[in-house]
Chain A
């Protein structure tokens, strides 16, 4: 009968073996530095590219996530897929504002904003090409609706006048939005009276002015959309039910978070597919490189490995030592790659259409890069490790 102590001793000795073989392999790396560096460099390239492209998608998604709140709802005319395609009459806007489930201000006004939209052609600072920035007209309660909007510079616009305030991101991404400058709109020039920040969300890429003034300047009589603050996230269903069952209204009601998720899906999908296709193909290249390196590492250690096996080391220890070596090289590469992506791109401004956002290298992305490098390293190490374990000891020892 073997006692638990014996089994513990067995485990200890297996661990000791493993440690000894692995250390021996790692100490040996300087002798084949060139080949090992190849794994590090190629993994760094793959992880760097993957993380850089995905930082676009994560920056974009963070901006969108900051924009939406589950206790706000957006109302568009029935069938409109995006704000600009929608039209809500003044009557509809009034009816919606009176609906149940909307939070009220201190003096009893519903917190809603019936919004007008116009697009202003601007020049991108990055490449001098054209882009369109949204001018959003908001109702007087628009700032109670979006408390995240804070003036950072200048003063608030005067509702009756041709005045507007500009988001921080729009200011840094496009030409001509300094406080005091003028923006050309349908009936003449509008003055930029201030700049605002808004929790780094999509509104920071917009211009904001008074809804009624924008509407009359556009010679339009219908709002584009309406956003309301709900009593609580749970009152959404009640609110939506009230609007959709009202025969005088033909509207679609969505939670702001869900609406934005639908809006941002195509671009996010495109960026992710690009990242995975590019990263996947590069990763294949790097994996074959790692296979080469690890095969040559095993073959340069043939005699050493055969000797260890001959004096009683298990083949498991040998397999794991090769895998550990491949993994360590891959992880070293991932550190360099993710670090380079972070230094080069994290915080950079990027413009897609009229939206300006910062590229973001999140911990999740770095984790993904590491996981990818480890997977490639494991595959690259596995087959050479199996070969090492299967080395026929006698012939290997005779080899020169």
Chain B
């Protein structure tokens, strides 16, 4: 790399131009990193669903009777069924929306990906008003173990009160699919505490013996309840996630289109800068040729000069994106965007492509430079 000082000097010939170019590239890669990270986060969420886990919903909306739990477990292919419901509300200010999701013995087994020890789980099941909160949520409101938290809800309790109080038993790790954190409460408290709708749940999780037979098991469940008080619609967790995430916004299309437009813009920006920069220095390149630089050597020199700001900008942009995705304002608990190594490598590959595409024309011009004409200023 003995030519590095030469390339460096070329870059800083006009510092303002190089800095602006670098900033343009950085901005483009911040966007690239954030959008690809969002995409990767969604893909992760779908990827992490368990193949043998089905979700049982009320077919036409509403709620399911809690009694379905026993019936579900009697179905041949189902090994475990767990109810899930929640009490929604807010902490202190309506802006601080929160959903306390129920947990009982079975649902801890059903969703083992939550980083909760057996002792913590048992403590929650023993403590009626207990709650387990994730680090992110606890950090946001400054909650500690032992704190007593009032949650204002629209769901009326037996005594007519709309304030649900919870005692924090444990603060545990977050999961990638819930970017805003989570709060778990005792199923019995949440269910029986309600004035209305006791004994009804939002949906059930059902584990099936053979994940390969998930579709068949789904049909078996729906058939079983086809004459029940409430009919069901059962789907593999993955299908539910896919539909739910895409229901919101066609994320792949939006990210694809935006990234396309950004790269298109970037190609013109850097390409123009390289053309200008090389045009101004034609006589200098002629001198370099005169003192013995080879044609392909100069070609490489120009390409490297294009590559340095592209790579620096890409690294800076992807790094910033990594930080930025955590501070995105979002009222919706979407999966956490993840600037994964794959996203990072894709970014670097694109930076190399942009460098090659924007540096190639000027580099070829320098390669084909006729020394005599160039020195004569023709």
- Give chain A's interface residues, CB within 8 Å of chain B: 34-35, 37-38, 41-42, 45-46, 48-49, 52-53, 56, 79-81, 84, 87, 117-121, 126-127, 129-132, 135, 185-186, 218-220, 266-267, 269-271, 273-274, 277-278, 281-282, 284-286, 288-289, 291-293, 295-296, 351-353
Contact flags B263-295 to A (C-beta < 8 A → 1, else 0): 011101100110110000000000000000000
- Give chain B's interface residues, CB within 8 Å of chain A: 16-17, 20-21, 23-25, 27-28, 30-31, 34-35, 59-62, 88, 154-156, 162, 196, 229, 231, 233, 235, 239, 242-243, 246-250, 254, 257-258, 261-262, 264-266, 268-269, 272-273, 275-276, 328-332
Residues in A whose Cβ lies below 8 Å from that of B269: 38, 42, 285-286, 288-289, 292
CB of B283, distance to nearest CB on chain A (Å)? 12
Whether B265 pairs with A42 at a CB distance below 8 angstroms is yes
Known: A34-B275, A127-B246, A281-B30. 4 other contacts (CB 8 A): A41-B264, A273-B329, A278-B35, A285-B265
Whether A284 pairs with B27 at a CB distance below 8 angstroms is yes
Residues in A whose Cβ lies below 8 Å from that of B331: 266, 269-270
Whether A270 pairs with B330 at a CB distance below 8 angstroms is yes
With A42-B265, A186-B231, A286-B265 as known contacts, state yes or no: A278 contacts B258, CB within 8 Å: yes
Residues in B whose Cβ lies below 8 Å from that of A220: 62
Please, how many angstroms separate the alpha-carbon atoms of A210 and B63 in the complex? 22
Residues in B whose Cβ lies below 8 Å from that of A87: 196
Q: Among the listed B25, B248, B258, B329, which residue makes an inter-chain contact with A49, where contact means beta carbons less than 8 Å apart?
A: B258
Whether A53 pairs with B265 at a CB distance below 8 angstroms is no
Whether B243 pairs with A129 at a CB distance below 8 angstroms is yes
For residue B25, which residue of chain A has the nearest CB? A285
For residue A271, which residue of chain B has the nearest CB? B249
Whether B261 pairs with A185 at a CB distance below 8 angstroms is no
Q: Among the listed B24, B233, B235, B242, which residue makes an inter-chain contact with A289, where contact means beta carbons less than 8 Å apart?
A: B24
- A sample of 25 cross-chain residue pairs with beta-carbon separation below 8 angstroms, ordered by A number, consists of A38-B269, A41-B265, A42-B265, A45-B261, A48-B261, A79-B155, A84-B61, A119-B61, A120-B60, A129-B242, A131-B247, A277-B34, A282-B28, A282-B31, A282-B261, A284-B23, A285-B28, A288-B24, A288-B27, A291-B20, A292-B269, A293-B272, A295-B17, A295-B20, A351-B247
Residues in B whose Cβ lies below 8 Å from that of A121: 59, 233
Whether A127 pairs with B229 at a CB distance below 8 angstroms is no
CB of B231, distance to nearest CB on chain A (Å)? 6
For residue A184, which residue of chain B has the nearest CB? B59
Please, how many angstroms separate the alpha-carbon atoms of A277 and B37 in the complex? 15
Residues in B whose Cβ lies below 8 Å from that of A129: 242-243, 246-247
Please, how many angstroms separate the alpha-carbon atoms of A288 and B20 in the complex? 5
Please, how many angstroms separate the alpha-carbon atoms of A117 and B196 in the complex? 19
For residue B26, which residue of chain A has the nearest CB? A285
For residue A344, which residue of chain B has the nearest CB? B257
Whether A130 pairs with B276 at a CB distance below 8 angstroms is no
Whether B23 pairs with A127 at a CB distance below 8 angstroms is no
With A119-B61, A281-B31, A285-B24 as known contacts, state yes or no: A46 contacts B249, CB within 8 Å: no
Q: Among the listed B16, B156, B242, which residue makes an inter-chain contact with A295, where contact means beta carbons less than 8 Å apart?
A: B16
Residues in A whose Cβ lies below 8 Å from that of B88: 81
For residue A121, which residue of chain B has the nearest CB? B233
Residues in B whose Cβ lies below 8 Å from that of A284: 23-24, 27
Whether A45 pairs with B264 at a CB distance below 8 angstroms is yes
Residues in A whose Cβ lies below 8 Å from that of B24: 284-286, 288-289, 292
Please, how many angstroms separate the alpha-carbon atoms of A79 and B153 in the complex? 8
Residues in B whose Cβ lies below 8 Å from that of A117: 61
CB of B93, distance to nearest CB on chain A (Å)? 16
Residues in A whose Cβ lies below 8 Å from that of B229: 219
Q: Among the listed A81, A277, A285, which residue makes an inter-chain contact with B328, where contact means beta carbons less than 8 Å apart?
A: A277
CB of B59, distance to nearest CB on chain A (Å)? 7
With A49-B258, A79-B156, A277-B328 as known contacts, state yes or no: A37 contacts B60, CB within 8 Å: no
Please, how many angstroms separate the alpha-carbon atoms of A127 and B276 in the complex? 45
Please, how many angstroms separate the alpha-carbon atoms of A292 and B22 in the complex? 11
CB of A43, distance to nearest CB on chain B (Å)? 9
Q: Among the listed A80, A269, A277, A286, which residue makes an inter-chain contact with B154, where contact means beta carbons less than 8 Å apart?
A: A80
For residue A340, which residue of chain B has the nearest CB? B261
Whether A296 pairs with B27 at a CB distance below 8 angstroms is no
Residues in B whose Cβ lies below 8 Å from that of A291: 16, 20
Whether A53 pairs with B254 at a CB distance below 8 angstroms is yes
Q: Among the listed A41, A130, A292, which residue makes an inter-chain contact with B235, where contact means beta carbons less than 8 Å apart?
A: A130
Please, how many angstroms separate the alpha-carbon atoms of A74 and B250 in the complex? 32
CB of A178, distance to nearest CB on chain B (Å)? 21
Please, how many angstroms separate the alpha-carbon atoms of A35 and B271 in the complex? 10
Whether A282 pairs with B272 at a CB distance below 8 angstroms is no
Residues in B whose Cβ lies below 8 Å from that of A185: 60
With A277-B328, A288-B24 as known contacts, state yes or no: A34 contacts B272, CB within 8 Å: yes
Residues in B whose Cβ lies below 8 Å from that of A288: 20-21, 23-24, 27, 269
Q: Among the listed B248, B266, B273, which residue makes an inter-chain contact with A285, where contact means beta carbons less than 8 Å apart?
A: B266
Q: Among the listed A126, A130, A277, which residue makes an inter-chain contact with B250, where contact means beta carbons less than 8 Å apart?
A: A126
Q: Among the listed A81, A132, A269, A281, which residue makes an inter-chain contact with B61, where contact means beta carbons less than 8 Å apart?
A: A132
Whether A292 pairs with B154 at a CB distance below 8 angstroms is no
Please, how many angstroms separate the alpha-carbon atoms of A73 and B315 in the complex? 55
Whether A35 pairs with B272 at a CB distance below 8 angstroms is yes
With A46-B265, A130-B243, A289-B20 as known contacts, state yes or no: A352 contacts B249, CB within 8 Å: yes
CB of A236, distance to nearest CB on chain B (Å)? 22
Residues in B whose Cβ lies below 8 Å from that of A81: 88, 154
Residues in A whose Cβ lies below 8 Å from that of B60: 118-120, 135, 185-186, 218
Residues in B whose Cβ lies below 8 Å from that of A37: 268, 272
